[in-house]
Structure 1
Amino acid sequence: MTAVQRVAIAGSGVAALAAAIQLAKAGVQVEVFEAKPELGTVGSGISLQGNALRVFDALGAWDDIRAAGFPFEGLTLRAPGPGAAVVAELPDVKSGGPDYPAAMGMPRADLARILFDHAVAAGARVRFDARVTGLRQTEQGVEVLVNDEPVGVFDLLVGADGVNSAVRELIGIETRPQPTGMGIWRAFVSRPADVPRSELYYGGRMYIAGYTPTGDNSMYAFLVEKAQDRSGVSEGEATRIMIDESRAYDGPWNSVRADLEAGAPANYTWFTQHLVEAPWNRGRVVIIGDAAHSCPPTIAQGAAQALEDALVLTELLVAADTLDQGVWDAFHARRLPRAGAVVSASVQLGQWQLDGDRDADAGGLIFGIAKKMAEPA
């Protein structure tokens, strides 16, 4: 017996689909409602730390994800300027444990497709063009409105609908993502043979320049700058700006620029951060993933934390007989301190760069968070 028999999930990102997989595998009737017309992905590639890979294994999706991604160990630091001299080769903490690579890069579209296929195979129903627009809670459950029409009464509604969560607003949580002061250019490009792992350049015109392999023949490259209003920039101008801003960086960046000059598109977003304080639920409605917390990708833990939210929540729901306060207390005790530590550290790393603090112990902070993440959620 599980604490819930029928669950609605808003969103179709990693947290939503992970929760759908685990609940459907346990025999729960799961309906996923996605506002977009199709399975969408924002951005080019994604970096996944070992603790995210450990969750994929629990979902039963690890073999497919490993085959579609590019696993690697360690991190290379390079200097800006001619030759892109290697400054250091750093080991990674294997935050997923010894059975998994330290990290992996993969195209976001491939990750979304794999998790979607596993959710459907487990028995979850997914509807697109289906925006959660309202809810009414009763003693028996929560009635969910989609596109302003009632779609049924559920034991639980999970709001996994991203940083601009509609469910978060519907249950009266006022916390919203706030800009951190940094913006990022991203492009999906080909991977040179001499890029076997993530590489970062500190200094030069950007706060950070880097790239992460996502496959044998692909990687995503990025430049982090002081946040600017780039809303009026055309697609062609975006590519030109990324080319110009990357000229301080040599080595594999020459290949990145060649792809951009050949037409690879660039996109721009601001870094934001937020953390909803406990409780993340209001009665039989709960938010997880980016709806509950978000952070800059300075330690690449965003997806991992969303996945852990889903895994812990579903573990507790499947183990309990009733959806009572004990379930929520256990959920918040396991998730809020961990997600909060990641948000705080991610924001701090960026702030040190904004402040030009050369004495900050960035390496120590990153290592400390990685050690925490090595302990299962």
Structure 2
Amino acid sequence: MTPPTSPPRSVLVVGGGAAGNAVTILLRRAGVAVDLIEAKDDWNATAGSGITLQGNALRVLRELGVWEQVRASGFAFGSVGITAPDGTVLHVARDIRTGGDDLPATVGMQRPRLQRILIDAVRASGAHIRLGTRAETLDQDGDGVTVRFTDGSQGRYDLVIAADGLNSSTRAAIGITDKPEPTGMAIWRVAAPRPAGVTRTDLAYGGPAYIAGYCPTSDTTIYAYVVEANRDRASIPPETYAAEMRRLTSGYGGFWPEITATVTDSAKVNYTWFDRLLVEGSWHRGRVVLVGDAAHCCPPTLAQGAALSLEDALVLAELLTSSDTWDDALFQAYHERRIARVRPVVDASVQIGQWQLDGVRDADVPGLMGRTMTMLRELP
């Protein structure tokens, strides 16, 4: 007689960004029943301008089965240029291949395109998806979590994965009081046509702002950005965003005049403060566990935000699908693996910005970047 089989484990993933989508795909591949809820009706399918994906992010995307789509949709390159504000190229450095020698060092992509690729993979996985839905209450016991949703329904799960971002309501609901803190910088971003000749990221330090840079995101597009000291958001009317970004970028040479001329639609310009977050202590309470920006966030000075979130998803899914017991020991093992890797990246990302805020002229930015990226070549 065949012994009865136990029912498949069930997981609720809260949040449909990079970390939430990735962990859903990986758990579904292992046969875990997954519900994914996302607060936004459009699943963030049109949000954002561009994203820089370094090799350790590409390594996870390959594991998710979407690397070929990413490669076809993005723009791969292997170096970064440092320029003077007038556009003079001062130095070109080869990027470290943090994903291994069989992947490009870096791929630039339009962020909405990456999100659509991940959305399609989540849908194909067979996960149950509910958009425009939030978790209202979480009631835990020794065996699982009962979740009541904002539409009045409820569900019972073996585990809840909080992937609901920097201002995670799930993090707060389980009593973790860590909150993001502004670093003192802010960034203006916009998608723009790619000038002929832009084939890598170039960064200008100094000039009218702290940093002005751009990254190719396809054969025809880039995203451009400029970093300054943060301002009171209320003092910048959204309808003036394009004019403000043009004002900041008009002092840069090289490809910038061509880029600046295309910044005309304020609705396409994004203004965001830089924040730092690193949840201290364990990243779980009972059977609720944090991933991605809900657990950590850093300024994009090393372009590692999405990569770290994707790695969280990979490590957590690996531990969950290789263990018969989901308990504190497993979740603590997840935290210990991740904190040793995440903390140096968060600290380095913040330090690079702080050196600029403090006007430190002899700061070893290349050395810090090199040491951090070399560490990321190791498997997570």
The interval holding the TM-score normalised by the smaller chain is: over 0.9
* Total equivalences in the alignment: 375
Per the TM alignment, residue 373 of structure 1 is displaced from its structure 2 partner at its CA by: 0.5
Task: Report Cα offsets for 1:74-119 as digits up to 9, x if no partner.
Answer: 10111112xx111011111000000110011111111111111111
Alignment of 1:1-377 (within 5 A): 5-40=9-44, 41-81=46-86, 84-147=87-150, 149-261=152-264, 265-377=268-380
CA distance in 2, matches of 1:76, 1:264: 29
Q: Please give the alpha-carbon distance, in whole angstroms, between the structure 2 residues aligned to 1:115 and 1:261.
A: 30
Rounded to whole Å, the distance in 2 between the matches of 1:2 and 1:341 is 41
SS in 2 for 1:149: coil
Q: Which amino acid aligns with 2:100?
A: G
Secondary structure at 2:234 match in 1 = coil
Q: Secondary structure at the match of 1:375?
A: coil
DSSP-derived class of the 1:65 partner? helix
Asked if 2 retains the 8 angstrom alpha-carbon contact of 1:188 and 1:219, the reply is yes
2-structure distance, mates of 1:64, 1:169: 36
Q: Which amino acid counterpart does residue 95 of structure 1 have in structure 2?
A: T
What is the SS of the residue equivalent to 1:298? Answer: helix
Q: Deviations over 1:320-340 (max 9, x none)?
A: 011023312321121011111
Preserved CA contact (<8 Å) 1:213 1:220: yes
- Counterpart of 1:259, as a letter, is T
1: CA distance, partners of 2:179 / 2:143 = 30
Residue identity in the other structure for 2:309: A
Deviations 1:288-333 (A, max 9, x none): 1000000000000000000000000000000001102331232112
Query: How far apart in 1 are the matches of 2:266 and 2:179?
Result: 35
Measure the CA separation in 1 of the matches of 2:47 and 2:362. Answer: 35
Q: In the aligned structure 2, how far is the partner of 1:267 from the partner of 1:328?
A: 36
Return the offset for 1:2. Answer: 10
Amino acid of the residue matched to residue 10 of structure 1?
V
Summarize the Cα distance change of 1:204–1:134 in structure 2 as closer, same or farther, 3 Å threshold: same
Contact 1:143 1:154 in 2 (8 A): yes
- The structural deviation recorded for 1:125 is 1.4
Quote the Cα distance in structure 1 between the aligned partners of 2:13 and 2:6.
17
- Unaligned runs of 5+ residues in structure 1 are none
SS in 1 for 2:226: strand
Contact 1:133 1:148 (8 Å CA) reproduced: no
Change (3 A) 1:306 1:3: farther
- CA shift at 1:278, angstroms? 2.3
Q: Percent identity?
A: 47
Q: TM-score normalised to the size of structure 1?
A: 0.96
d(CA) in 2 for partners of 1:273 and 1:120? 32
For 1:134 and 1:11, how far apart are their aligned partners in 2? 15
In 1, Cα distance between equivalents of 2:230 and 2:131: 33
Q: 1:341 deviation in Å?
A: 1.0
Range that drifts further, 143-152 or 11-20: 143-152
Amino acid aligned to 1:72? F
Matched residue type, 1:56: L
CA-atom RMSD in angstroms: 1.6
1:274 to partner: Cα distance? 0.8
3-state DSSP class of the match of 1:184?
Answer: strand
Aligned equivalents of 1:170 and 1:3: distance in 2? 28
Q: Secondary structure at the match of 1:206?
A: coil
